[in-house]
């Protein structure tokens, strides 16, 4: 597949804001994503092919750690390596920020995402019980960068 991974702009946001759940399965509300774009500690990227946003993801820098806030691939474009390329971009960006680690939470039922993170060396640090909607557990995973 041919696509570029570039910083997310307000124009990209307006292309996906009404389709977050339907096309991308993103658990983020559009208002949170929009506010992230103007957060000086947040860094978001899109995978884009001919004006079609195939996926997006971002990190949030906090002192010596970056947190992956979201990484999502368009439902009809999954299992083509796009999630991997977005994750590689987020790892590269975190390294540029000179942080020690990259951390995230993932639903304990979300096996595809867990496999993706493990493939890139993320280790399980712990579990937050009933973190999602007071039912599903969150697994905390970290990649040490130094």
Q: Can you tell me the distance from the alpha carbon of 79 to that of 11, in angstroms, rounded to the nearest whole number?
A: 26
Query: Is the CB of 115 or the CB of 146 nearer to ligand COA?
Result: 115
Q: Per the structure block, which two tokens stand in for 93?
A: 């960006």
Is position 117 annotated as part of the catalytic site?
Answer: yes
Q: In what order do the strands lie in the sheet with 101-107?
A: 4-7, 42-49, 52-62, 65-73, 101-107, 136-144, 123-132
Residue with smaller CB distance to ligand COA, 84 or 124: 84
Closest CB 39 distance from ligand COA, rounded Å: 19
42, 34 Cβ separation under 8 angstroms: no
Per the annotation, the verdict on 120 as an active-site residue is no
> CA torsion sign, 102 to 40 to 44 to 20?
positive
| CB closer to ligand COA out of 34 and 132 | 132
Nearest-CB residue for ligand COA: 83
- Min dist CB 87 to ligand COA, Å, is 8
Applying CB under 6 A, the residues found at the interface with ligand COA are 25, 71-73, 78-84, 104, 106, 110-113, 115-116, 119
Question: Which residues are tagged catalytic?
Answer: 105, 117
């Amino acid at each position: 597949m041919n696509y570029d991974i570039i910083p997310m702009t307000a124009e990209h946001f307006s292309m996906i804001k009404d389709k977050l759940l339907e096309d991308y399965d993103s658990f983020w509300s559009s208002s949170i994503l929009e506010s992230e774009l103007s957060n000086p500690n947040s860094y978001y990227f899109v995978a884009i092919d001919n004006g079609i946003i195939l996926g997006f993801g971002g990190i949030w820098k906090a002192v010596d750690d970056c947190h992956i806030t979201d990484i999502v691939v368009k439902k009809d474009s999954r299992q083509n390596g796009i999630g991997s390329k977005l994750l590689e971009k987020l790892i590269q960006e975190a390294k540029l920020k000179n942080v020690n680690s990259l951390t995230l939470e993932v639903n304990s039922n979300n096996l595809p995402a867990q496999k993706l993170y493990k493939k890139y060396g993320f280790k399980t640090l712990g579990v937050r019980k009933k973190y999602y909607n007071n039912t599903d557990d969150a697994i905390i995973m970290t990649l040490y960068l130094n």
